[in-house]
Chain A
Amino acid sequence: MKIIVLLKRVPDTEAKILINQEGTGIREDGVKFVINPYDEYAIEEGLLMKEKIGGDSKVTVVCMGPEEATEVIRTALAMGADDAVHIADGALSYPGPFTTAAIMAKAIRDDGFDVIFCGKQAIDDDMAQVHCILAEMLDVPQVSVATTFELSDDAKKAVVGRRIEGGDEKIETSLPAVISCDKGLNEPRYASLPGIMKAKKKEIRKKSLADLGFSEVPGGGRSRILKWLPLSKGGECRMIEAEETSDAVRELVRLLREEAKVI
């Protein structure tokens, strides 16, 4: 089985994100970059599938990102992925979902695939579109925000559970398919030390846009960012104090009804 996992290098969720001076992007100095947290569930699911099927199954990581992305790719290899494709090109800057999907589709289609796992969204742009557009371009079905994944015995189908409002939905899909992964799908393993050691020898194939046959950036020119906006500052909190707790609560209820008008 050829298992593909999509990877993105993003700023750490714990990092403080500030708009840069020119107002054209975020301040990157001092910000730590990591594997997109939702992609970790994708890597783990790919590894679990490989372990279950065995044979000559392979997990290939595909990552589109700057030169520095090799570190997150190497981490995925240390977790157990077999090899990687790193798409890097100076012409790519804050690519939109259509651009990303078109480029990845080209890289993936040529080598063939049985299943593609990815995170449900990248925590920088939070668009959650690439996997759907990619599935359409590759003409395969998609399932989004998977929280359970059961492969059929013949590995040709899967029953995927996903969380919807008010419950869980089960989707039966044929393979190949694109599956976006959500928290709860599995428990991503640590990059073990033997894994880190073996990762040093694993292959990362670098591809530029030209290598993939693109003479210009595909899928671009669909939107423009007008403004980067920081969070608005909150107002003052009205602390409600009284001798007796019951008096304070009564005052709160009064305010919620008469002032805030929410009950």
Chain B
Amino acid sequence: MSGDILVFGEIRNGELKKVAKELVHGAMTIADGTGGSVDALIIGTGAEAEAAKLAGLGVRKVAVVDDEATANYSPEGYATVLADLVKEGDYGYVLLGATSMGRDLGARAVAKVDGVMFSDCVELGFDGGTVKVKRPVYSGKLYLEIAPTGGRPVFMTIRPNNLPPAAEKDGGGEVARRASGIDLAAIKAIATEIVPLAGGRPDVTEADIIISGGRAMKDASNFKLLEELADLLGGAVGASRAAVDAGYAVQPIQVGQTGKVVNPKLYIACGISGAIQHLAGMRTSKVIVAINKDSNAPIFEKAHYGIVGDLFEVVPILTEEIRKIL
């Protein structure tokens, strides 16, 4: 296997996911160590139009696959396309985003090439001739630093918002169309429709800024306060499990051990006590602000900034003050 790295550039609704640029950054780190090149693969409708976004980051070649067989996501179909390219290009490393697609197709593809895969990495480096990754285990209570052995292709799914995006570089890479090589009729599991979540805000797992509400929100309608602030900052709205269980928010925005794990630049926790299970979902946020009436709430132990106060008083003022400076 070569020291070349393949980045999977996921597209949804014809748009490249933000994490793809973070993957290129990670790939460059490995390339610095192996002396290899970074290529990319984009599959799906509108792949070619998005290829330039990666080509401009110092990626050598972007393979674009967009035909009838790949118009809709299918785990085995996409995994076959990826595996074929990995074998053909003799790639030693494959990076995907730890998204619902990346985790799914990555694990299928790594089985096809009999490689090894590290899921949900939060850090990666190249040291002593080998790639090393850091990934959470036991629901984020511990971390492992692992390295591959045995000279097989190494797949890594990287959590969004953990690596910085790759910088633009001069001299764009090559974009090459590629046939999927798969027969639509032979595919056994395929996506038939996507029902988007109401709101139109970024997904919590990908958002840079999250305004999150706990049980103190007292009612679903009160989440409007947080939505206003989130929209002002272009962020997402999250919720604690207590808020979701009480029916104030829906499950897809639940942050925590049994919900989503997020890593935004800014996490504002409103009326969230800070139970361990919630912290497991957001403790790696770069800046945590806690607003809570109870000065003894555990969240204050993990926050960077705290205000003891009633969220119904604080949040509207916060929205106003931020509106003034933006």
Contacts and interface: CB of A to CB of B under 8 A. Distances in A.
State whether these chains interact. Answer: yes
B142 A19 contact: yes
Interface stretch (B34-42, B56-64, B306-314): B306-314
Interface of A: 11, 13, 16-17, 19, 26, 37, 96-98, 101, 123-129, 131-133, 135-137, 140-145, 159, 162-174, 177, 183-184, 221-231, 234-235, 237-241, 245-246, 248-250, 252-253, 255-257, 260, 262-263
Contacts of B258: 37, 183
A37 B139 CA distance: 12
Contacts of B137: 124-126
Contacts of A132: 75, 104, 107-108, 111
Interface residues of B, number: 90
Given A173-B188, A252-B318, A224 B305 contact: no
A125 B141 CA distance: 11
Contact of B99 (A165, A177, A263): A165
A126 B101 CA distance: 16
B75 A229 contact: no
Given A224-B149, A226-B145, A228-B144, A170 B195 contact: yes
B218 interface: no
Nearest to B318: A249
Interface string B97-121: 0011101100110111011111110
A133 B301 contact: no
A249 B307 CA distance: 8
Contacts, number: 248
B143 A127 contact: no
B286 to A, nearest CB: 7
Contacts of B135: 126
B321 to A, nearest CB: 4
A239 B300 contact: yes
A172 B77 CA distance: 13
Contacts of B104: 132, 142, 144-145
A136 B187 CA distance: 13
Chain B contact surface mostly: mixed
B171 interface: no
A71 to B, nearest CB: 20
Contacts of B149: 221-224
B188 A141 contact: yes
B100 A162 contact: yes
Contacts of B152: 222
Interface string B287-326: 1011000000000111111111100011001100110011
Query: Which of B197, B304, B325 is most buried by chain A, counting CB atoms within 10 A of its CB?
Result: B304
B129 interface: no
A81 to B, nearest CB: 24
B192 A170 contact: yes
B197 A230 contact: no
Contact of A142 (B108, B209, B252, B307): B108
Interface in B160-199: 187-197
B53 interface: no
B73 interface: yes
